[in-house]
Chains A and B, each alone.
Chain A
Amino acid sequence: EIVLTQSPATLSLSPGERATLSCRASQSVSRFLAWYQQKLGQPPRLLIYDASNRATGIPARFSGSGSGTDFTLTISSLEPEDFAVYYCQQRSNWAITFGQGTRLEIK
């Protein structure tokens, strides 16, 4: 099973700042890596798929990069509604795993 490790566990930033979230895979997943945002009491929302493609309706301030084992989600300038939990997810060898999540909180 491919293990995804997200860092940091918690990120404290202010609106307007830049957020950088990391996801590292225990073995290569090529570019089969997605990012989700989850707010309290809601199901997750797909932000990025295939490492760098924004899903429908996702603002341009969200961007993804990486390949192989190291991936990054960047939020260029935080809006108040961006404070949430973020998960990465890989799909490889007909199996799916998620990272443990990064909580982005208001500083």
Chain B
Amino acid sequence: EVQLVESGGGLVQPGGSLRLSCAASELTFSNYDMHWVRQGTGKGLEWVSGIGAAGDTYYPASAEGRFTTSRENDKNSLYLQMNNLRAGDTAVYYCVTGRDWNFDSWGQGTQVTVSS
């Protein structure tokens, strides 16, 4: 079974930065597209970013260039660099993957709180 473990969340002030990591195991990481999905407390799911096996990246139109996703295949790791954070970015951030962008594997998530 695929294991995805997120880390790097925490409390950050508005305007600050944070880098999330995701450690993947029990899969051939370099073969998989990887994504970040977030969920605010009591809210729905929102796709944050995707990165293909070859390193091509995808973002929603609303990303506004503040978030950057990257990967290190030799470390089975996925990253999300978040800059200029706002209160609206407060959420649980999930690392997810699956064939053809159907997400059958999810981490447990890491909490990001943006507050002064």
Q: Are A and B subunits of one complex?
A: yes
Binding site for B on A (CB under 8 A): 1, 34, 36, 43-46, 49-50, 55-56, 87, 89, 91, 94-101
The A-contacting residues of B in range 61-76, CB under 8 angstroms, are 61-62
Interchain pairs with CB closer than 8 A, number? 56
Binding site for A on B (CB under 8 A): 35, 44-47, 50, 58, 60-62, 94, 98, 100-104, 106-109
A34 nearest in chain B by CB position? B102
Q: Given that A87-B44, A89-B45, A98-B44 are contacting pairs, would A44 and B104 also be in contact in the complex, using a CB cutoff of 8 Å?
A: no
A85 nearest in chain B by CB position? B44
A93 nearest in chain B by CB position? B58
Q: Which residues of A contact B103 (CB under 8 A)?
A: 34, 36, 44, 46, 89
Q: Which residues of B contact A100 (CB under 8 A)?
A: 44
- Contact between chains at B45 and A49 (CB < 8 Å): no
A57 nearest in chain B by CB position? B104
